[in-house]
Homo-oligomer: A and B are copies of this chain.
């Protein structure tokens, strides 16, 4: 463990990147996405697919997929620099903004997937109520499910409101940045 100061620092920098990669998994993104984010973040400057490939030791194709995922998640951007032909990718330098982007991307996706579901379910349930031969017990079951559907809808409405609460920055009014 008796390294040159410069080596030591590079080693520390790598540990930072690994930690970022590890933490990023809490958001449900792969360690590789986290690692690439960490690498660009620590680099403080936009990077090309080739540079990322070099740094991670992974294929350029994989880097292409990863940065695309990051752009979709709103945690990276393609940037232009005159004279440079290769695409350059940069990441958000603000932790809090990255948190908000990942949180909102994730939940927006989930909310989107649920929108149709509620409508479909209540339509089906009502159709059974109207057209089927139904005894007391069955009718009660259907009503329980209809109530469930309603609560479900309310919950997703709340989630959408929560996403806005983060995206708008309101959250920082009540949980201020230190």
Contact B9 A142 (CB under 8 A): yes
Give this chain's copy count.
Answer: 2
Q: How far is the CA of A132 from the CA of B132 in the complex (A)?
A: 83
Question: Which residues does chain B contribute within 8 Å of A25, judged by CB atoms?
Answer: 28
Q: How far is the CA of A70 from the CA of B113 in the complex (A)?
A: 24
Interface status of A92 (Cβ within 8 A of chain B): no
Q: How far is the CA of A152 from the CA of B25 in the complex (A)?
A: 17
CB interface residues, A 12-58, toward B, < 8 Å: 12-13, 15-16, 19, 22-23, 25-26, 28
Q: Which bucket holds chain A's interface residue count? A: 35 or more
Q: Using CB atoms and an 8 Å cutoff, list the residues of chain A in contact with chain B.
A: 5-6, 8-9, 12-13, 15-16, 19, 22-23, 25-26, 28, 95-96, 99, 106-107, 109-110, 113-114, 117, 121, 124-125, 128, 132-134, 138, 141-142, 145, 148, 151-152, 154-155, 157-159, 161-162, 165, 170-171, 174-175, 177-178
Closest 5 CB pairs of A and B: A5-B132, A26-B110, A154-B178, A95-B155, A28-B28
